[in-house]
A and B are shown apart, each in its own frame.
Chain A
Amino acid sequence: MLDNIRWLIPAQKDNQGENPEIIVSSRIRVARNLDSIPFEIKMKNDDALRLLELTRSVIKQRLKGKFYELQKLTPLEKESLLECHLISPGFIKKDSPVGVFINDKGNISVMINEEDHLRIQGLSGGLNLVNISEQVFDVEEVFGKELGYAFSENYGFLTSCPTNLGTGLRASVILHLPGLVFTNEVDKVLKGAVQIGMAVRGIYGEGSEIKGSLFQISNQYTLGLKEEELIEQIIKLTHMIIDIELKARDVILKKARYEFEDKVFRSLGVLKSARIISTDEVLNLLSALRFGIGMGLIKDIPLDLVNELLIVSRPANIQLYYGVVLEEYERDIRRAEYIRNRLNNPESHT
């Protein structure tokens, strides 16, 4: 039982480093498999149970945090872990026994028996890939020393899918790019990123329906480069995109200053006063708010509060935050209430 998600919030909102108004969060994930157990497609129920038993014995002795058997969580709790980016959509759908470990701070999670035996991942607000990767590899080493990973000199760490071979590492950042969306340049920039071998996707919604102007960039290749080099590539690309985003913001200020300011303050007004706010609407309102803070229009709302609102206002999270199961209509009312309280009185948790 997750109880509620309040203990997970600090890791999600924590915001540090350069351009926090654009770089929302960073994530590192490594895929690992044990030498001694068949991989996903050849795994029997017994193997899955053994994998869980082995990893649990390591967790118990060597790590601090909580372990959940996914089968024992309610659908709402699973959804909430997904909304916090601690587990993957594919993980929820698995029939075989699966479990997830989440460390005390709520910033490291280990999915056990996903597509690979272990998917170890770390997340943080802002651009913080190097620090997060160190924490992830500390945990990776604990499991490796105890359990023995599948490894080949030529192909590195062996994974279920050949596209993850080598480092098994995926580094990603979530960027807020309202300037590029507003000036219609976002497609061009993101296509360029794909050309140099990066994967790009909208965080909420797809194609032209992308909501909240949030995008994720990540490396696609995992073999032939060192872990630090893969991370360095993402950091470099992030810097390039930030430059273009900042230029687009200048253009907006020159050409449409009042329209832009109007949008920001209208959104803030709605967030502070509305009585019903839907899941989709909140994404665009918070996007405008973050944009306004980034441009220096709003000075009394910290960015980490915007990060918190973004995570807690997700449909499952808002229910677990209040510890009640809610229908959509009631949920939209509670969401508005929660946002209103937090923005009008940032010091107190309701």
Chain B
Amino acid sequence: MLCDDCKKNPATIIFKEVLPDRTVELHLCDECAAKRGLISAKKMSPLEVLHKLLKEKGARDAEVICPVCYLSLAEFKRSGRFGCSHCINTFEPYIKTLVKKIHNSDKHIGRKLVPGRKRGIEIYKLREELKKALEREAYEEAARIRDQLKDYGVEDVG
């Protein structure tokens, strides 16, 4: 079947519009469907949307800096990557708009976080403490921290 609009190309899309008294059915080719705005001429992938949005200039971009990892908004816009788990809070509300445009949604409804022991953070802290203890040459304290680390299954605590 040929496209109802151009009458030249074969129709690839059937578009149905339900009106109160009747249903209108249009058979269109890709090109004409795009002209009518029924489909986008070229569908952009989320990554393409992201990079297009990142190029748009904001008024006071460079001033916002993540207090945890020191990523600036300007840096985020260059790389398109977050620096840590806190960045997403730092760059609100810019992120909210961005995410909505990428995913057509700004609300996660999937799986929730399973509460964990946060062993990661604890081991991380112990490592820092161990380093400091060794710098101070507080060897007894260092030995105690090493034992704690071993309790977590971490060997090779140098």
Contact = CB atoms under 8 A, between A and B. Distances in A.
7 contacts: A33-B85, A39-B82, A137-B111, A148-B119, A161-B50, A163-B46, A225-B110
A160 interface: yes
Contact of A37 (B81, B118, B120): B120
Given A35-B120, A152-B88, A223-B108, A166 B103 contact: yes
Interface stretch (A53-61, A82-90, A209-217, A278-286): A53-61
A144 B114 contact: yes
A167 interface: yes
Interface in B45-87: 45-47, 50, 69-71, 79-85, 87
Interface string A132-152: 000001000100111111111
Contacts of A137: 111
Interface of B: 12, 30, 39, 43, 45-47, 50, 69-71, 79-85, 87-89, 95, 98-99, 102-121, 123-124, 127, 152-156
Given A166-B110, A226-B110, A148 B103 contact: no
Interface in A130-183: 137, 141, 144-163, 165-167, 169
B81 to A, nearest CB: 5
B111 A167 contact: yes
A221 B151 CA distance: 41
A88 to B, nearest CB: 15
Contacts of B114: 141, 144-145
Contacts of B120: 34-37, 54, 146-148
Contact of B43 (A61, A147, A194): A194
Q: Main SS of chain A's interface residues?
A: mixed
A205 interface: no
Contacts of A166: 103, 105, 108, 110
Pairs A-B, 8 closest by C-beta atoms: A224-B105, A156-B108, A150-B85, A42-B83, A223-B103, A147-B120, A148-B118, A57-B153
A148 B88 CA distance: 17
A312 to B, nearest CB: 33
Nearest to B71: A42
A191 interface: yes
A299 interface: no
Nearest to A161: B81
A191 B30 contact: yes
Given A50-B127, A158-B82, A161-B80, A147 B110 contact: no
A54 B149 CA distance: 11
A41 B45 CA distance: 23
A57 B95 CA distance: 35
